[in-house]
Structure 1
């Protein structure tokens, strides 16, 4: 089997050399690809000196890097890992084994189960963000994935070549998790150790800016994957607000045959119109999404048939 280690990088000259060396030691048969995302330091030079295949990605953002990696690289097994030396190369064999055994299409390196993430991570808001996104996805998509946003993952070719990457930034991990859940890919989590960045190495993840982007992406993905639930919530809220504003107007009309609260009446009608339109949008989009799912299932079947024939 051809194994590819995918390392998206941006200004990681302090750690990229060790990352490449570690994975060469643990997976000597693998090709290691370092995609340099406009680094302003010696990331590319060091990676190349250590024996990695270096590719430039000029569109800024981790999602753009992953999109290019998935499109360009042909392999049977893929391992994606950050270039900041926070994930152990020693876990690589354990990560790819479920792929080899056919037990998983995507393996998730779970940083949270064994407690090392909470011991090593020095950014408390990152803990809060991880738990918030994990809780929201668990609520909205009914799953038990423990580490939604880990950057350490393994995939088979089937997943990589059928995954539509739409995100351009750090939302990519959330997008991959939701896509895999929605399309019923086989998932497995492997507990891994986590270590914080070495001194002098700075995270490119902005707690609040990128946190907002992840939450926005989660809302957008919820709307796209489950439109009936999304617009159902809008319908329910609008309907309840319409009742709250409109019931006093109705009581007044029943008692006096006259409406003095004209603005309230107009507002109530507006809320009810929004509720009806949202319900109609939800029904229409839900039908479209179900048809797209059927077409995607047929596409996956054709892809497997073509892969078998090859």
Structure 2
């Protein structure tokens, strides 16, 4: 680890009194140079007091939802590198340096500790593993890339990512939003396999399988519409065109054989579908142009973000170019 790099460990918690002190102690031992923050998300137990007693700085986030917590993290913590880890003691602290390494080396904007390669048999509740695989398959196909784990809560970020990402999600779909944002903005995403453990006896997941699963899929759909509007509306246009041609062929065949149209409603439906296809295509073209301009502006703003201490340190080590 570079000595002058400011590292912050961020631990979101909601009623994690059973595990938070151990998580703080483990990451303090693994990263003694890092500042430890616990973000208490409206806990009703002793989470905040136990975290404070373990030596962490506690920041209260009254609005319930992990998205609100991440927004507070990115807004309130000033550091060169941020390491986010859940407070349920399922992620290993001894892998922290491996997760941080690509960011510290300037090789990635975000690193995800992937869990699906090695995990305890009871680590995932019923349907959670299936849901994660479904989400990663959808994102991988939409963005033409390979993602191993979209929903992991073990992540490292550099200053560029933290200062440029607008956090819009409110709940557990925030991990999906971060992944989609990184892919859509052309940021470098790396994945590091980490073992994933089970919650200790008496600790319970706050994730609702169907409610939060629906919200994650909805987030994917909306974010893809925002970041890839031409393909999104283009697919709608293709579907409407094919349907319109199918219904229209019935009307045309009937007219060719009988010289009359006896199903005017089918003709109206075919015309409406084709018009919808044209409107959808035009919408996609307009939004794609607007999106490109907004991405250009985002890149310009992102480039104005001051480099991290690690980047400045590497620049000093490299020294001036040899002119001899």
Q: TM-score, normalised by structure 1?
A: 0.95
Q: CA deviation at 1:253?
A: 1.9
Partner Cα distance (1:26, 1:40) in 2: 29
| Pair 1:116 & 2:124 matched | no
Among 55, 58, 62, the residue aligned to 1:54: 58
Q: CA deviation at 1:305?
A: 7.4
Q: Which of 239, 252, 255 pairs up with 1:253?
A: 255
What does residue 210 of structure 1 align with? 212
Query: Structure 1 residue 182: deviation in Å?
Result: 1.4
The residue that corresponds to 2:8 in the other structure is 4
Mark the CA change 1:304 to 1:257 in structure 2 (over 3 Å): closer, same or farther.
farther
* Structure 1 Cα separation of the partners of residues 103 and 115 of structure 2: 19
Q: Which residue of 2 aligns with 1:158?
A: 160
Does structure 2 retain, via aligned residues, the 8 Å contact 1:120–1:194?
Answer: no
- Whole-Å Cα distance in 1 between the matches of residues 182 and 113 of structure 2? 15
Q: Which residue of 1 aligns with 2:318?
A: none
How far apart, in 2, do the equivalents of 1:177 and 1:306 lie? 21
Q: Is the 8 A contact 1:3 1:76 kept in 2?
A: yes
Query: Do the aligned residues in 2 keep the contact of 1:38 with 1:56 (CA within 8 Å)?
Result: yes
1:1-310 to structure 2, matched below 5 A, reads 1-113=5-117, 115-116=118-119, 119-304=121-306
Per-residue CA distance 1:213-233 (angstroms, 9 max, x = gap): 000000001111101111111
Moved over 6 A (4+): 305-309
Please state whether the residue corresponding to 1:54 is helix, strand or coil.
strand
SS at match of 1:193: coil
Superposed CA deviations along residues 259-285 of structure 1, whole A, max 9, x for unmatched, are 110111111111111111111101101
* Separation (CA, whole Å) in 1 of partners of 2:257 and 2:266: 17
Q: Distance in 2 between matches of 1:236 and 1:304?
A: 44
Cα deviation for residue 194 of structure 1 reads 0.6
CA distance in 2 between partners of 1:75 and 1:301 (Å): 18
Shift, 1:76, TM fit: 0.8
* Equivalent pair of 2:19/2:88 in contact (CA under 8 Å): yes
2:315 equivalent in structure 1: none
CA–CA distance in structure 2, aligned partners of residues 207 and 67 of structure 1: 23
CA RMSD of aligned residues (A): 1.6
Q: Distance in 1 between matches of 2:290 and 2:124?
A: 44
Counterpart Cα distance in 1 of 2:46 and 2:19: 11
Deviations 1:44-101 (A, max 9, x none): 1111111111111111110111001101110011100001111011111111122221
Separation of aligned partners in 1, 2:72 and 2:259:
67
- Local SS of the residue matching 2:304: helix
- Where structure 2 has 5 or more consecutive residues not aligned to the other structure, the ranges are 313-324
**1:124 CA drift (Å):** 3.0
CA distance in 2, matches of 1:294, 1:157: 19
Contact between 2:159 and 2:307, CA under 8 Å: does it hold in 1?
A: no
Question: Quick check: 2:240–2:273 contact (8 Å CA) kept in 1?
Answer: yes
Which consecutive unaligned segments of at least 5 residues does structure 1 have? Answer: none
Contact 2:80/2:308 (CA < 8 Å) preserved in 1?
Answer: no
What secondary structure is seen at the aligned counterpart in 2 of 1:59? coil
> Is 1:2–1:76's contact at 8 Å kept on the other side of the alignment?
yes
SS of the residue corresponding to residue 305 of structure 2 reads helix
Contact 2:12 2:86 in 1 (8 A): yes
Moved more, 296-305 or 84-93: 296-305
